[in-house]
Amino acid sequence: MAKVPVQFTLNGSEKAEFIDSGTTLLNALRDKIGDTSPKGGCHQGTCGACSVIIDGELRLSCLMLAETCNGATITTTSGLAVGGVLHPLQRAFLDTFATQCGFCTPGMIMAAKVLLDHTPNPSREDVVEALSGNICRCTGYEPIIRAVLAAARANPQNAA
Amino acid sequence: MELRKSYFADVRKDDLHEIGQPRPRSDSPGHVTGRTAYFADRNFPGMLHLKMVRSPHHHARIRSIDTSEAEKHPGVIKVLTAKDVPHNVYTILILIQVGPEDETVLADGKVRWKGEAVVAVLAETERAAQEAAAKVKVDYEVLPAVFDMEEALKPGAPIVNEYHGQNYYLYDSGACRKVRFGDVEAGFAQADHVLEQSYQSSPIEHAPTETTGCVVAPEGNDRFTCHTNTQAMFFTLDNTSIILQMPGSKLHFVGGTVGGGFGGKVDVIVEPIAILGAKLTGRPVCFIYSREEEMQISSPRAAEKVVIKDGVMKDGRIVARKVTGYTDAGAYSRHSPYGAQKGAGHYPGPYTVPNVWIDTYCVYTNRTPSSAMRGFGVTIGDFALEVQMDKLARLIGMDPLEFRFINAYRDGDMKAHRQPTEGAALIECMQEAARVANWPVAEKYMAMSSYKNGA
Amino acid sequence: MAIRRGRGVAAINYPTGMNLGGDPTQALVHSTPTGNFMVTLSSVDLGQGMKQIMAQICAETIGVPTDRVVVDTADTDTGPHCMGTFASRGTHRAGNAVIQAAREARQVMLEVAAEELEVNASDLETDGQGNILVKGAPQKSISIFDVALSAHFKRGRSISGRGMFLIPRSYPEKETGAMKPSTCYAHACTVAEVEVDDETGEVTVLTVKNVFEIGRALNPKMVEQQLVGGSWMGISHALYETTEPYYPNRDHGGTDFNQYLMPGPGDLAETEIIVLERPSADGPYGAKGPGEMCANPQMPAVANAVFDAVGVRIDTLPITPERILRALKAQAN
């Protein structure tokens, strides 16, 4: 099978690999680059566990070919904590007990991050809308919604 | 959530240090940073991908299997059929002496449900395995199938599973697990009203976000490490040991960090064939269900039919309850004989009824084998019982909650399966529910207690 | 045509464990040289939080803070036997095994401390902060750090313990069905309030008020996680879920999350959870298994609420708009 070069920025570092043409970004990240924080829950774009941020937009990495991401800037949940300090969303998920099995968590955090990047002070409806592409089977969603709202409240810019 | 400490304060000491404290979860930091390692996060050089060829028919005889084209497909390393599996006919509960062995790891001569595993293909890539699987030719002679439990139990119905010989599980008590307590017919004769109703459910999927699977790596010393999301480590190890006729000392299972289970990961399905693949190729092997396989191939919660016949007095007392439960096991037992039996131990629900008759059947049909799920053997029964309770209350013109107080079990009450009730708390749950929901309930019920001799 | 409201109630109990199969779990506990404690198991954490709960149980029993305990589980080369995580058995069975193992380890720890302090072990107590004190004379004390060092390097003792919890198998009597399906039961009562659109058959669950009696809330925040998620699953089962929508016909089964329906974050009922604690006689610190039963009462409560709203009985799960409309049509005729 033909190998194709891919090169992109992942969580601030340059990555370059030769991959089989047709490899999804999810598989390239997990199997070639070793970032297993995006999860493969369905490989058909219906669960959101593989969500990553590409050039500021939320994307399902299981539905993207890695070779279409050349030159892109990609963020995954494993890259959110800087210098060992958790991102406010990660902190909020911890503090409000919003994780159970944890399998959907990285995708949820990605979806929530894109929301807060665009809408720093979201309404509950905004949060619901932002999470509506991500499946969770453990929590019943309410704790995750609350975690995202708590993270937004923790942002000093949102202080009244 | 609120803890109501006022209930049962007299039997509870709240003098603990670590217990009762909302300590942060030790696994959560790994979850929020994406560092938690699930089985599929293990990657080994040279790992092969396993894909199954599955039956397109509900019930069919296999005339022949031709794997020659699949074996020639680029990237294919090994193709496995029934003859490759040392002990191909198995059943998981054989470990607790619940037989007979009734299921094949890979179909041998017959398929009994649409989706049954027939041939396993191991290839360098997932894509090659998938493409090669499509090249396996299986010649089937389609047989009549039966899907409806009542049809399956009729004389002359197609036999789903020859290892049982009839379309129900044979308990030591006969065609069903029985509970007999008091005289149920006398109870019906005495009752002011008799109500018989039938309830039905359909199969339900566990739908964990992480699908069932495993990653196997040879250790290089005749041992195999299997990273798995099974819900039961030794249950899986010991069954694998039987199926592969391999000493348990050669097997090393690692797991315990699972992306949701809900009962869907207690069957021993992916591990034995993946380990066999690793053994025969000397290579690491991964076998991970697609979402479609998780939805339609992995065991669902069984469909159940529950028929309840109750005799009730005008004053609200249930004097007789007869329950006939049918659990749709699908084509193989897996855990279903246990689930049906657990149902027999659960009826007539948390109520004290003097005359009880329970029959629970485990029925075989040509569908995806069902197995355990959250509330196994009880969930659908509770749906039936509690809708029936609502109907009975309305039948005699009583408030549904007050009707339950009249019949609620209390400490010391003898249950139908002949155990005295201990530690009951149904009454207090109902009292608190009445309070939070502003559901009007007469004071005498709000003053009741689950304790023996409670008011 | 109108939106109609109704409410329904259901009450249930649920057995802890797998008595009808025989139900063992084992645990090992040992101290490191500096007085941290390892719990070794083969139990599986499905996401419910088994590892955290076993750490808290071990810490409580030994008398140290939870962050001094590490749980190493689900490696068959090191962990002793556990039947598995199902039947609401994990906390109850493994918790009891951990308590027994931790008690044995605690006893050795106190004996070593007694030698160091030159008192009787029976005169010692832990302060829960990592120290061992002489009862009534708390100024005479030794840290568990120093006790563990002494055990390892001076006294040649292993601060360790073995735990085993077994519920022997109950065989149902053939003719009467006499059996012991469980040693303890959790309880619940749910009141659900719904709106039913009698034109579309659509059901909206407005509120669920759940009261759960679970023996002991070992970690209340984690109990809340289970109960909230379980209540959501119960509603999901009631209204949406099946792999065979035309059962017993096998056709049209869903194969992905677009076809297999569950309530999303925009479809949530307002959920209230109340927890009662009647400690069970044989539970670890009184705990029962809450994980399964929390998803059971919502199904009948919703069904009963639908009847209360529109006067039709849907006795087949799931309670789909199609079933409601067919029942309304039959009722009108």
Residue numbers in A near B24 (CB within 8 A): 94-95
**Residue C292: CA atoms inside 13 Å, Cβ hemisphere, count?**
30
Task: State the average pLDDT over residues A77-101.
Answer: 97
Beta bridge partners of C132: C126, C142
What CATH number does residue A118 fall under?
A: 1.10.150.120
Classified as helix, coil or strand, B89 is strand
One domain, residues A26 and A64: yes
pLDDT at C162 (0 to 100): 98
Task: State the average pLDDT over residues B129-157.
Answer: 98
A159 pLDDT more than 60: no
B374 assigned to some structural domain: yes
One domain, residues A98 and A55: no
Query: Would you call B32 and A46 a contact, using CB atoms and an 8 Å cutoff?
Result: no
B80 assigned to some structural domain: yes
pLDDT 10s digits, A106-131? 999 999 999 999 999 999 999 999 99
Classified as helix, coil or strand, C208 is strand
* Strands B89-90 and B2-3, sheet pairing: unpaired
Residue numbers in B near A65 (CB within 8 A): none
One domain, residues B123 and B216: yes
One domain, residues B409 and B336: yes
Query: Would you call B209 and A47 a contact, using CB atoms and an 8 Å cutoff?
Result: yes
Cβ neighbours, 10 Å, residue C97? 30
pLDDT at C225 (0 to 100): 97
| Parts of chain C belonging to CATH 3.30.365.10 | 3-16+182-332, 19-167
Minimum Cα–Cα distance from B347: chain C residue: C13
* Strands A3-10 and B48-54, sheet pairing: unpaired
pLDDT 10s digits, B339-382? 999 999 999 999 999 999 999 999 999 999 999 999 999 999 99
What distance in Å separates residue A71's CA from the closest CA in chain B?
A: 24
Query: Would you call C229 and A140 a contact, using CB atoms and an 8 Å cutoff?
Result: yes
Q: Which of B32, B38, B259 faces A94 most closely, judged by CB atoms?
A: B32
Query: Would you call A138 and B260 a contact, using CB atoms and an 8 Å cutoff?
Result: yes
What distance in Å separates residue C66's CA from the closest CA in chain B?
A: 7
One domain, residues B441 and B310: yes
B33 assigned to some structural domain: no
For residue B356, give both structure tokens.
Answer: 């009880």
One domain, residues B305 and B387: yes
The residue with tokens 């369905």 is A42
B426 assigned to some structural domain: yes
Residue numbers in C near A97 (CB within 8 A): 221-222, 224-225
pLDDT 10s digits, C217-239? 999 999 999 999 999 999 999 99
Task: State the average pLDDT over residues A97-104.
Answer: 98
One domain, residues A55 and A122: no
B235 assigned to some structural domain: yes
One domain, residues B429 and B325: yes
pLDDT at C177 (0 to 100): 97
CB B203 within 8 A of CB B302: yes
One domain, residues B90 and B195: no
B14 pLDDT more than 90: no
Question: What is the rounded end-to-end Cα distance, in angstroms, of chain B?
Answer: 29
One domain, residues A110 and A144: yes
One domain, residues A102 and A143: yes
Q: Which of B118, B101, B120, B102 is nearest to B60 (CA)?
A: B118
Q: Phi/psi of residue C30, each to 5°? A: -145, 160
pLDDT at A1 (0 to 100): 65
Residue numbers in B near A36 (CB within 8 A): 34, 37, 41
pLDDT 10s digits, C237-266? 999 999 999 999 999 999 999 999 999 999
Run of H or E residues at B31: helix B28-33
Minimum Cα–Cα distance from C260: chain A residue: A46
Q: Which of A44, A103, A139 faces C256 most closely, judged by CB atoms?
A: A44
Best mutation target among B28, B96, B202 (most C Cβ atoms within 10 Å) is: B202
CATH of C3-16+182-332, one of 1.10.600.10, 3.30.365.10, 1.25.40.420, 3.30.70.360: 3.30.365.10
A11 assigned to some structural domain: yes
One domain, residues B346 and B433: yes
Classified as helix, coil or strand, C7 is strand
One domain, residues B382 and B433: yes
A160 assigned to some structural domain: no
Of A79, A112, A134, the last residue of a domain is A79
Q: Which of B25, B38, B208 faces A137 most closely, judged by CB atoms?
A: B208
pLDDT 10s digits, C108-130? 999 999 999 999 999 999 999 99
What CATH number does residue B270 fall under?
A: 3.90.1170.50
One domain, residues A37 and A94: no
Task: Collect all residues with Cβ–Cβ distance below 8 Å to C132 and sequence separation of at least 6.
Answer: C63, C109, C110, C113, C117, C124, C125, C126, C141, C142, C143, C144, C147
CB B266 within 8 A of CB B234: no
Query: Would you call A37 and B209 a contact, using CB atoms and an 8 Å cutoff?
Result: no
One domain, residues A112 and A49: no
Q: Tell me which residue range forms the domain holding A20.
A: 3-79
Of A29, A61, A79, the last residue of a domain is A79
B326 assigned to some structural domain: yes
Q: Give the residue ranges of DSSP H helices in A3-154.
A: 25-27, 88-95, 105-118, 124-131, 142-154
What CATH number does residue B366 fall under?
A: 3.30.365.10
Task: Collect all residues with Cβ–Cβ distance below 8 Å to B158 and sequence separation of at least 6.
Answer: B59, B143, B144, B145, B146, B366
Q: Which of B27, B34, B37 faces A76 most closely, judged by CB atoms?
A: B34
Of A26, A56, A79, the last residue of a domain is A79
What distance in Å separates residue C57's CA from the closest CA in chain B?
A: 7
B133 assigned to some structural domain: yes
Catalytic (active-site) positions of C: 292
One domain, residues A94 and A145: yes
pLDDT at C133 (0 to 100): 98
Structure ipTM: 0.97
Task: State the average pLDDT over residues C57-81.
Answer: 97
One domain, residues A75 and A99: no
Cβ neighbours, 10 Å, residue B324? 18
Q: Phi/psi of residue B40, each to 5°? A: -75, -5
Percent with pLDDT over 90 in chain A: 94
- Going by pLDDT thresholds of 50, 70 and 90, the confidence category of residue B59 is very high
Helix-strand-coil split of chain A, %, nearest 5? 40, 20, 40
For residue A57, give both structure tokens.
Answer: 């937009």
- Going by pLDDT thresholds of 50, 70 and 90, the confidence category of residue A157 is confident
pLDDT 10s digits, C275-309? 999 999 999 999 999 999 999 999 999 999 999 99
pLDDT at C323 (0 to 100): 98
B227 assigned to some structural domain: yes
Query: Would you call A46 and C257 a contact, using CB atoms and an 8 Å cutoff?
Result: yes
One domain, residues B311 and B394: yes
For residue A62, give both structure tokens.
Answer: 């299981």
A160 pLDDT more than 70: no
Q: Which of B194, B190, B193, B182 is nearest to B352 (CA)?
A: B182
CATH of C19-167, one of 3.40.720.10, 3.30.1490.190, 3.30.930.10, 3.30.365.10: 3.30.365.10
Run of H or E residues at B150: helix B149-153
Q: Which of B33, B288, B292 faces A78 most closely, judged by CB atoms?
A: B33
One domain, residues B289 and B311: no
Task: Show the CA angle centred on residue A67, arms to residues A65 and A71, nearest 5°.
Answer: 120
Task: Show the CA angle centred on residue C209, arms to residues C207 and C210, nearest 5°.
Answer: 140
Task: State the average pLDDT over residues C28-44.
Answer: 98
One domain, residues A141 and A120: yes
Task: State the average pLDDT over residues B185-191.
Answer: 98
Query: Would you call B258 and C47 a contact, using CB atoms and an 8 Å cutoff?
Result: yes
pLDDT 10s digits, C173-187? 999 999 999 999 999
One domain, residues A96 and A71: no
One domain, residues B216 and B88: yes
Residue numbers in A near C44 (CB within 8 A): none
Contacts 24+ apart (CB under 8 A), A49-54: A49/A103, A49/A104, A49/A106, A49/A107, A49/A134, A49/A135, A49/B209, A50/A26, A50/A107, A51/A106, A51/A107, A51/A108, A51/A110, A51/A111, A51/A133, A51/A134, A52/A25, A52/A76, A52/A110, A53/A110, A53/A113, A53/A114
How many independent structural domains does chain B possess?
2
Q: Tell me which residue range forms the domain holding B429.
A: 177-204+300-446
If you write DSSP's letter for every residue of A59-73 in order, what string do you get?
Answer: EEGGGSBGGGGTT-E
Residue numbers in C near B96 (CB within 8 A): 21-22, 169
C101 pLDDT more than 80: yes
User: For B168, left (φ over 0), alpha (ψ -120 to 50), or beta?
Assistant: beta
* Strands B60-66 and B137-142, sheet pairing: antiparallel
Helix-strand-coil split of chain B, %, nearest 5? 30, 25, 45
pLDDT 10s digits, B144-187? 999 999 999 999 999 999 999 999 999 999 999 999 999 999 99
In chain B, which residues touch A (CB < 8 A)?
Answer: 22, 24-25, 27-38, 40-41, 43, 125, 127, 206-211, 258-260, 262, 288, 290-292
B317 pLDDT more than 60: yes
pLDDT at A118 (0 to 100): 97
One domain, residues B91 and B182: no
B455 pLDDT more than 70: no
CB C99 within 8 A of CB C62: no
One domain, residues A10 and A74: yes
pLDDT at C1 (0 to 100): 78
How many independent structural domains does chain A possess?
2
For residue C236, give both structure tokens.
Answer: 């999901």
